[in-house]
Structure 1
Amino acid sequence: MAIDQQSTARVSGGEPTPGRTAPRTEPNRWINALSFQTISAVYIFIALFVLFSFWVPDTFLRANTWRAMLDDQSITALTAVGLVIPLSAGTFNLAIGAQVGFGSIVSAWFLSHQGLPIAVTLVLTLISGAAIGLITGLLIVAAKIDSFIATLGVSSVLLALTTWVSGGQQILDLGASYQRIATNDLFGITYPVYFVVVVSLAVWYVLERTPSGRRVYATGGNAEAARLAGVRTSVTVVLCLVGCGVIAAAAGCLVSSRLATGDPTVGPGYLLPAFAAAFLGSTQFRGGRYNVWGTVLAVYVLATGVKGLQLAGAPVWIPDLFNGLALLLAVGLAKRQGRSGRGAAIARMIGRRRRTTDPGAVGVGPA
């Protein structure tokens, strides 16, 4: 279908055609990008930094405090980034804490009880994480079990397996070489922090810059509409859980390396902070859509608040209280923002499919 001259004139003159939205001016774009609703975590971080800089300046402003916080939160950040993948596809993974714990125990068991080399141990642990993700995904898409129930059941099974493999005891004698993976540093920053950056860049690129990422967001926005648009939603969900399982297993390896021990109790502690960061992160940058950099920012904003309170002499239960309140707040904010941002993904997917299948669409067909 040829485009009539009136439509052409409107496009060239900058007037929006029917079905098109007027381009935002540059000042409006900057105002929106810097608004509290878009980057509230940045403003919260600034407020926390100013507060604790005056409250406990002698300890809070030390470089060692910040280096330690970067390292302490690296595994939480890695777990949260892994969680972003299935959440973006509309799938909740309540087993992610147990997956981290299982990866920690399995890697320790391979090293200490089986005497395997470090490289082989790491590969086998990552494969086990992928297998767990695959089984979980099949339970959801093939057995048609709701993701809440399926992942909750998998979590219970993994906790039982973790206790069985470890005998309910810590696994010791992992070797100094393995411990150096999580404790050595480069320019004063430990290796796990760099690993978080690399994994975050990889996940961000796939989700935000590839057709696979658009399929993930489309599935999370509206699975049925995405399926009708040609997305293989079942495959997408399974692959997201596999990717999450691999990252959780890697986080487990870092846990056992940092502790130089396989501890069967550590995994579940990562569940709540990861969900709090992922939900709070979804309110940052992308207008209600789960995203990597919002999640990483949320991890360290929450950690800054907890660290400042601890340095000020707050009781030991403060982290649990802080993360719980942050999760409730983040879910509330995500509810207000979420559907518009995540729904845009499916709209783009359907619009792209229409343009490729309808040669009469305005601006697509021959003039």
Structure 2
Amino acid sequence: MTLPTYAGAGHRILSFLARYGTLVVLALMIIGFGAASPAAFLSERNLINVLNQSALLAIVSGGLTYVLVAGQFDLSFANVISLSGILSVGLIERSGWPIAGAIAAALAVAVVVGLANGFLVAYVRVNAIVATLGTSTVLLGVNFIYSNGAPITVSAGGFTNIARDRILGIPAPVLIMAAVLLVLWVALNRTLLGHHLQAIGSNPAAARLAGVGVGRATVAAFVVVGVCAAIGGVILSARIGSGMVTAGDGFLLSAFAASFLGASVVRDGQFHIVGTIVGVLIVSIAANGLAIMGAQSYAQYLVQGLILLIAVALSTTSRRILGQQVS
């Protein structure tokens, strides 16, 4: 007589983990780091620092989410980050461009890269991984040619203020992040483009039969990730005070980790902006907490990979068991 009760309780637990397993991991991380070093980790200063350090990753991951929603991949955005930083700083320092003009040029180049990626994938029908890997290699060569392989230091205080200014005590990158993510969320959930991308990601053939402009929407998704990568690159170069060939390398794994973590939040394996934000917080809090505890830098990569595996496995395993119970 008690078996149905246990079965029902188990089903409810698995159902909860399937939808909220990643949030459970986030909560456990906050509790764990908070208990280990409450004075440092839970301080207002550190919490603001976490948001500030998350800003670049959140912007880049938000753009990447668009491509993933459409069922595609982009491996070139890390070099777009580097290129936008090198180009904006180089135009300011070497060519005497105004700051606004240099940033606009960096964004324009990112749009061109996105158009090229989208055209190759949507119209030439090159596999997205192959196409963007090729584009990434080309961009790496361009980065080396323009910078001669050496960092380009910026002396314009107005440019570095992009990353260092505060408004009402809130770092400027955090405000930029909030604005970008709001636009991305609205566009993905409240516009025709967003609905088309979700339809394409679910079933490209059915979307095409329904009259969706699959090619145009796919190109638009690649443009979005390119622009977001450029915004992140400009902020990053302003933060470190220079443009560097390798500046964006560390964002490749982190952005994919955040996006895939986000796909296991609430929705059944679907990429979405809110989930990506949660994924970014997990990645950033892990890095911040480990740094406070004095862990070596390699430990951050190790824990980041383990968190991704555990969180996604927790949700997907729960869903699979639930599916077997239903069937």
TM-score, normalised to structure 1, is 0.79
| Contact 1:287–1:337 (8 Å) recurs in 2 | no
Q: 1:250 aligns with which of 227, 231, 239?
A: 231
Counterpart for residue 126 of structure 1: 107
Shift of 1:327: 3.8
Counterpart for residue 145 of structure 1: 126
Q: Which moved more, 1:158-167 or 1:300-309?
A: 300-309
| Contact 1:280–1:334 (8 Å) recurs in 2 | no
Counterpart for residue 109 of structure 1: 90
Counterpart for residue 241 of structure 1: 222
Counterpart for residue 310 of structure 1: 291
Specify the code of the residue in structure 1 equivalent to 2:97: L
Q: Is 1:57 matched with 2:48?
A: no
Quick one: distance in 2 between partners of 1:338 and 1:88?
Answer: 20
Q: 1:75 aligns with which of 51, 56, 79?
A: 56
CA distances 1:29-58 after superposition (whole Å, capped 9, x unpaired): xx89x9332233332222222212221123
| Contact 1:288–1:337 (8 Å) recurs in 2 | no
Distance 1:333 1:52, change over 3 A: closer
Specify the code of the residue in structure 1 equivalent to 2:142: L
| Contact 1:275–1:327 (8 Å) recurs in 2 | no
Distance 1:333 1:124, change over 3 A: farther
Quick one: distance in 1 between partners of 2:61 and 2:214?
Answer: 23
Quick one: distance in 1 between partners of 2:315 and 2:228?
Answer: 24
CA distances 1:53-86 after superposition (whole Å, capped 9, x unpaired): 2211231122221111111121011110010011
Quick one: distance in 1 between partners of 2:82 and 2:53?
Answer: 16
SS at match of 1:267: coil
Note the aligned Cα RMSD (angstroms): 2.1
Specify the code of the residue in structure 2 equivalent to 1:89: A
Unaligned 5+ residue runs, structure 2? 1-11, 321-327
Shift of 1:233: 0.6
SS at match of 1:289: coil
CA distances 1:209-242 after superposition (whole Å, capped 9, x unpaired): 1222111001111111111111111111111101
SS at match of 1:168: coil
Equivalent runs, 1:26-37 vs 2, <5 Å: 35-37=16-18
Counterpart for residue 160 of structure 1: 141
| Contact 1:171–1:263 (8 Å) recurs in 2 | yes
Distance 1:177 1:337, change over 3 A: farther
Shift of 1:310: 2.1
Quick one: distance in 1 between partners of 2:237 and 2:16?
Answer: 41
Specify the code of the residue in structure 2 equivalent to 1:120: G
Counterpart for residue 160 of structure 2: 179
Counterpart for residue 85 of structure 1: 66
Counterpart for residue 14 of structure 1: none
CA distances 1:265-320 after superposition (whole Å, capped 9, x unpaired): 11111000000000000111322211111101111122212222222222221221
Shift of 1:253: 0.6
CA distances 1:308-340 after superposition (whole Å, capped 9, x unpaired): 22222222212211222334446656766999x
Counterpart for residue 169 of structure 2: 188
Counterpart for residue 22 of structure 2: 41
| Contact 2:21–2:311 (8 Å) recurs in 1 | no
Specify the code of the residue in structure 1 equivalent to 2:296: P
Quick one: distance in 1 between partners of 2:314 and 2:78?
Answer: 24
Counterpart for residue 6 of structure 2: none
Specify the code of the residue in structure 1 equivalent to 2:96: G
Specify the code of the residue in structure 2 equivalent to 1:108: V
Q: Is 1:229 matched with 2:210?
A: yes
SS at match of 2:250: helix
| Contact 2:17–2:318 (8 Å) recurs in 1 | no
Identity within the alignment, %: 32
| Contact 1:67–1:188 (8 Å) recurs in 2 | no
Quick one: distance in 1 between partners of 2:264 and 2:56?
Answer: 22
Counterpart for residue 273 of structure 1: 254
Distance 1:252 1:49, change over 3 A: same
Quick one: distance in 2 between partners of 1:156 and 1:317?
Answer: 26
State the aligned residue count: 308
Distance 1:335 1:77, change over 3 A: same
Q: Is 1:301 matched with 2:282?
A: yes
Distance 1:337 1:195, change over 3 A: farther
Quick one: distance in 2 between partners of 1:330 and 1:239?
Answer: 30
SS at match of 1:318: helix
Quick one: distance in 2 between partners of 1:185 and 1:314?
Answer: 29
Q: Which moved more, 1:112-121 or 1:57-66?
A: 57-66
Which structure has the greater CA radius of gyration? 1
Quick one: distance in 1 between partners of 2:269 and 2:29?
Answer: 23
Q: Which moved more, 1:249-258 or 1:46-55?
A: 46-55
Q: If each structure's helix is expressed as a fraction of its own residues, which one has the higher value?
A: 2
Distance 1:334 1:125, change over 3 A: farther
Specify the code of the residue in structure 2 equivalent to 1:257: A
